[in-house]
Structure 1
Amino acid sequence: MGFVNTTPRTLTLAQFDALPDDGMRHELLDGRLLVTPGPKEEHQRAAGVCNLRLVMASPDDMEVFFAPFDFRPNDRTSLQPDLMVFRYEDVERDQQRRTLVLAVEILSPSNRSTDLIKKRHAYEKACVASYWIFDPYLSVLTVLELADGQYTERTFKGDEMFAAEQPFPVRIVPDELARRVNGSA
């Protein structure tokens, strides 16, 4: 099941905020409603391990959050990356004014094209400094970092270590996020 646009028109943030809770994940991208089912085991495992790594490495001036928590870069977009890092000074600000320094998306069969294409452009346009996309099924981490207003891309597979410098130093190994250690899943 992919993302579904359940309305033929675009929505405002006020209309989006008034939607009833139906147990699905709702996001708004350029006024278009995106709805996805709850995440699967592989997704949750990877998000949990990545969250732990980020929290353990984060300095006092950074705050790590996990979905559902909205990032609202403009008046027509409300995204919920699986994990996100804000500067601590921005956490209490109005959602439209927060500076997101890292967005992490864990791919699921239902969100693959949206995370790889649509959200990539949305985060790039919002000047999110780093965007990590992890595929738990292939054990591949794609790292996008903003340089001169555009993302540059690096890929790490299996047991290759990504030594992040931004938003803070942390080491990420795709197989560890997918719990593929010594060939086991």
Structure 2
Amino acid sequence: MTVRDLAAIPEDGRRHELVDGVLYVSPAPGLRHQHAVFRLYGLLESGCPPGMDVVGGPFAVRSGDQVELRPDLVVGRAEDFTDADLPMPPLLVVEVVSPSSGIHDRVTKKAVYERWGVPDYWVIDPVALSLTAFEISADGGYQQSAEVAGGEAFETERPFPVRVSLAELMNGR
């Protein structure tokens, strides 16, 4: 399949993504997932410096004609976004896993973001109450830079200073 084929699929409430011409379809996210995404969006948006944008998914991130992903949250340079997509690697991608998306988020999408050279990739599990952060290394591969769980907080300077408290993110859920 191509990005053009993907655009022709009627909207059905599910997430449609394309990786190297292969279609991946995920069910609509559940309540815990949505709580995590929207609260994290607010946190990132409040700390986002001028010249950068935080965009909530599903918003297309594309590379060529055979790869289009729809991350839960993406941070990029404001000048790089179009009205329809982000046609270049973002600065940060965040995926919040659902029971049906865990392997896709942790393996397939991580490999694509790594191949694109996305500097930072976070995976949040709202059920396990965990956040795993990856940073691109000098050799171009991802290295795990942090893993926090439960009541712990994640603090980073990349792509801008932010502190994520998992307990606050899930608001006791």
Same fold flag (TM > 0.5): yes
Q: How many Å apart are 1:17 and its aligned residue?
A: 1.3
TM-score scaled by length of structure 2: 0.93
CA distance, structure 1, for counterparts of residue 169 and residue 153 of structure 2: 11
Mark the structure with the bigger radius of gyration: 1
| 1:120 to partner: Cα distance | 0.6
Deviation at 1:96, TM superposition (A): 6.3
1-side partners of 2:83 and 2:12: how far apart?
A: 28
Work out the CA distance in 2 between the residues paired with 1:94 and 1:134.
25
Among all aligned residue pairs of Structure 1 and Structure 2, give the percentage whose two residues are the same amino acid: 38
Q: Which residue identity does 1:18 align to in structure 2?
A: A
Query: In the alignment, what sits opposite 1:151?
Result: 142
- Corresponding residue of 1:64: 54
- Contact 2:3–2:67 at 8 Å: present in 1 too? yes
Tell me the equivalent position of 2:109.
119
- For 2:134 and 2:163, the matched residues in 1 are separated by 15
* 2:63 match: 73
Q: Unaligned stretches of 5+ in structure 2?
A: none
Task: State yes or no: 1:49 paired with 2:39.
Answer: yes
TM-score when normalising by structure 1: 0.88
- The size of the alignment, in residue pairs, is 171
The alignment yields a C-alpha RMSD, in angstroms, of 1.5
**In the alignment, is residue 84 of structure 1 matched against residue 74 of structure 2?**
yes
Kept in 2: contact 1:87–1:99 (CA 8 A): no
Tell me how far apart the structure 2 counterparts of residues 147 and 138 of structure 1 sit (CA, whole Å): 27
Could you say which residue in structure 1 is the equivalent of 2:156? 164
What is the aligned partner in structure 1 of residue 169 from structure 2? 177
The whole-number CA distance in structure 1 between the counterparts of 2:84 and 2:55 is 15
Alpha carbons of structure 1 residues 44 and 109: separation in structure 2 relative to 1, 3 Å: same
Q: Residue 90 of structure 1 contacts residue 99 of structure 1 at CA under 8 Å; is this kept in 2?
A: no
Superposed CA deviations along residues 71-112 of structure 1, whole A, max 9, x for unmatched, are 002321110100000101212388463331111000100101
Structure 1 stretches of at least 4 aligned residues deviating more than 2 Å after TM superposition? 92-99
**Distance in 1 (alpha carbons) for counterparts of 2:60 and 2:37:** 16
